[in-house]
Amino acid sequence: MTGGAGALRAASRDYSLSPISLNHFPRCSWPETMTTSKQDPSLFYRMHIFCCTNTRPPGHPRGCCSEKGSEKLRNYMKVRAKELGIVDTRVNAAGCLDRCELGPNMVIYPEGVWYTYRDTADIDEILTTHVIGGGRVARLMLQPEQKPPGS
């Protein structure tokens, strides 16, 4: 038998996590932090779009994307992407993306670009300008430091 008292002390250590400040982890931009390797497989999807469809109780102070029509608009986006022949991009429903007051919102990866949107015209513009054209829809983009009005 190996180990003895030292092994017993190590096995009984408390490994619970203590709270940490996110200030210890500065926001990084993707190109500087993304690593790639020759061993990486090719991408299954060129882009991944996550649309918040979170639901909160009625009257919640932060609101929710679902009450602003996000599920209907995400469903429209999926159908419209197929109609436009976009086959290399996945449109997914997501839980809370924690920007409720600015919603409905979505994030497109691998770029990490965030958008707010209100209607099918906004969805069409995001699909044609960003997903197909590689551009950005500046009027709908959310910035990392952006806060809701009045906060």
Structure tokens at 71: 């599920």
Please state, rounded to an integer, the average pLDDT across all residues of the chain: 81
Q: What is the pLDDT of residue 63?
A: 83
Cis peptide before 110 (omega within 30 of 0): yes
Structure tokens at 82: 């197929």
3-state DSSP call for residue 109?
A: strand
The mean pLDDT value for 22-45 works out to: 64
Domain residue extents for the chain:
43-142
3-state DSSP call for residue 96?
A: coil
Q: Which tens digits make up the pLDDT trace of 61-94?
A: 888 888 898 999 999 999 999 999 999 999 999 9
The residue type of 76 is: Y
Query: For the whole model, what pTM was predicted?
Result: 0.73
Q: The domain at 43-142 falls in which architecture?
A: 3-Layer(aba) Sandwich (3.40)
**Percent of the chain having pLDDT more than 90?**
49
Instruction: With a cut of 80, say whether residue 30 has pLDDT above it.
Output: no
The mean pLDDT value for 16-40 works out to: 55
The mean pLDDT value for 8-31 works out to: 44
